[in-house]
C-alpha cells in the first residue's frame, strides 16, 4: 500500500514537471511569435518610410528640375526680348537712314532691355546715339537727349579727303620697341604729359594714350586691344584706318575711337568701352 502511494506521488510529480515544461515551451513559442510579428511590422513600416522618402525625393527632384527649366526659359525669353529691342530699333533706323551701315548687336553686357536710340541726319552726315535709360523709349524720343550715350556712330557722307578724318598713323621708327604679343611689337613715345604706344596690323593703326599725370601705363590696354582685334576683327576697308584708345573707361567718356572709310563715306564709332565697340562693329551691316 505504501509502495503504491509512493509510485502515485512520483507519477504526480512527473506530470507536474511535464506540464511546467509544456507551459514554458508554449510561452517561449508565443514570445518568439510575438518577436517575429514585431520585426515583420517594423520591416513593413521601414519599407513604407523608404517608399515615402523615395517618392518625396522624386517630387523634390521634379520640382527642382521644373524650377531650373523655368529659370532657363525666363532667361532665354529675356535675352530674346533684349535682342528683339535692338532689332526693332535698328529696323526703324534703316528706314530713316537708308544706306547707312548699322550694328545689329548693342554690345552691352547688361541693360539691353532699356536700350534707347536717337539720331540726327543731314545731307552731309548721320549720327546715331546709343544709351541705356531708366525705361525703354521710342526711337528719337526727346527724353533720350538727356541720357549719356555709351556709343556714338557717325557717317560723314561724300567725303573728298578721307585720310584727314581717319588719321591713320604710319609705323614709327627710331623709337623704343615694346613687345605686345609674341609676334606683335609696337613703339612707345612720350609727349605733353602722355605716353603713346602704337602698333600696326594690316590696314589699321592702333594708338593707346596713357596719362603720365594719372600714373597710367599703355601696355595693358594695348594687349587687351590687340586681343579684341584678333577675336572680333574690324570692318573691311580699302583705305588705311585707325583705332585710338585713351586708357580708362567710364560711362560717357567715349575713350575708344574707331574710324574707317567705306565707299565715299567715312564712319566713326566712339564708345566708352573698347569691347563694346568691337562687338558692335562685328555685327555691322
Reply yes or no on whether the pLDDT at 221 is more than 50.
Answer: yes
Based on the number of CB atoms within 10 Å of its own CB, is 37 exposed (0-12), middle (13-18) or buried (19 or more)?
exposed
Of the pLDDT bands very low, low, confident and very high (cuts 50, 70, 90), residue 21 is: very low
Tens digits of per-residue pLDDT, 245-256? Answer: 999 887 788 999
At residue 79, the pLDDT reads 52
Tens digits of per-residue pLDDT, 147-195? Answer: 999 999 999 999 999 999 999 999 999 999 999 999 999 999 999 899 9
At residue 77, the pLDDT reads 47
Tens digits of per-residue pLDDT, 108-137? Answer: 988 999 999 999 999 999 999 999 999 999
Q: What does the pLDDT average to over 214-219?
A: 96
HEC sequence for the chain: CHHHHHHHHHHHHHHHHHHHHHHHHHHHHHHHHHHHHHHHHHHHHHHHHHHHHHHHHHHHHHHHHHHHHHHHHHHHHHHHHHHHHHHHHHHHHHHHCCCCCCECCCCCCCCHHHEEEEEEECCCEEEEEEEECCCCCCCCCHHHHHCCEEEEEEEECCCCCCHHHHCCCCCCCCCCEEEEECCEEEEEEEECCEEEEEEEECCEEEEEEEECCCCCCHHHHHHHHHHHHHHHCCCCCCCCEEEEEECCCCCCCCCEEEEEEECCEEEEEEECCHHHHHHHHHCEC
d(CA 197, CA 218): 6
Q: What pTM, to 2 d.p., does this model score?
A: 0.73
Of the pLDDT bands very low, low, confident and very high (cuts 50, 70, 90), residue 80 is: low
Q: Contact at 8 Å (CB) between 209 and 196?
A: yes
Residue written as grid cell 567725303 = 159
Supply angle C-alpha 170, 176, 180, rounded to 5: 75
Reply yes or no on whether the pLDDT at 28 is more than 90.
Answer: no
Reply yes or no on whether the pLDDT at 87 is more than 50.
Answer: yes
Of the pLDDT bands very low, low, confident and very high (cuts 50, 70, 90), residue 38 is: very low
| Closest residue by Cα to residue 128 from 143, 144, 113, 112 | 144
Q: Contact at 8 Å (CB) between 279 and 105?
A: yes
d(CA 142, CA 138): 9
At residue 238, the pLDDT reads 78
Amino acid at each position: 500500500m505504501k509502495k503504491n502511494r509512493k509510485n502515485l506521488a512520483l507519477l504526480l510529480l512527473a506530470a507536474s514537471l511535464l506540464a511546467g515544461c509544456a507551459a514554458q515551451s508554449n510561452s517561449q513559442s508565443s514570445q518568439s511569435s510575438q518577436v517575429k510579428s514585431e520585426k515583420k511590422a517594423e520591416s513593413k513600416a521601414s519599407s513604407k518610410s523608404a517608399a515615402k522618402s523615395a517618392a518625396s525625393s522624386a517630387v523634390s527632384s521634379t520640382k527642382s528640375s521644373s524650377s531650373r527649366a523655368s529659370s532657363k526659359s525666363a532667361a532665354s525669353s529675356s535675352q530674346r526680348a533684349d535682342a528683339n529691342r535692338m532689332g526693332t530699333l535698328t529696323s526703324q533706323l534703316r528706314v530713316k537712314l537708308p544706306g547707312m551701315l548699322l550694328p545689329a548687336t548693342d554690345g552691352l553686357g547688361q541693360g539691353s532691355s532699356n536700350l534707347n536710340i536717337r539720331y540726327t541726319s543731314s545731307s552731309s552726315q548721320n549720327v546715331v546715339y546709343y544709351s541705356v535709360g531708366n525705361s525703354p523709349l521710342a526711337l528719337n524720343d526727346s527724353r533720350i537727349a538727356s541720357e549719356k550715350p555709351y556709343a556714338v556712330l557717325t557717317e560723314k557722307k561724300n567725303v573728298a579727303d578721307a585720310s584727314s578724318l581717319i588719321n591713320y598713323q604710319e609705323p614709327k621708327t627710331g623709337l623704343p620697341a615694346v613687345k605686345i604679343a609674341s609676334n606683335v611689337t609696337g613703339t612707345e613715345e612720350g609727349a605733353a604729359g602722355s605716353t603713346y604706344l602704337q602698333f600696326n596690323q594690316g590696314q589699321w593703326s592702333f594708338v593707346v594714350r596713357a596719362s603720365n599725370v594719372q600714373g597710367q601705363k599703355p601696355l595693358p590696354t594695348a594687349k587687351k586691344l590687340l586681343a579684341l582685334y584678333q577675336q572680333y576683327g574690324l570692318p573691311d576697308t580699302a583705305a588705311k584706318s585707325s583705332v585710338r584708345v585713351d586708357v580708362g573707361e567710364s560711362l560717357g567718356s567715349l575713350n575708344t575711337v574707331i574710324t574707317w572709310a567705306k565707299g565715299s563715306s567715312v564712319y566713326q564709332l566712339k564708345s566708352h568701352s573698347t569691347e563694346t565697340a568691337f562687338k558692335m562693329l562685328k555685327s555691322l551691316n
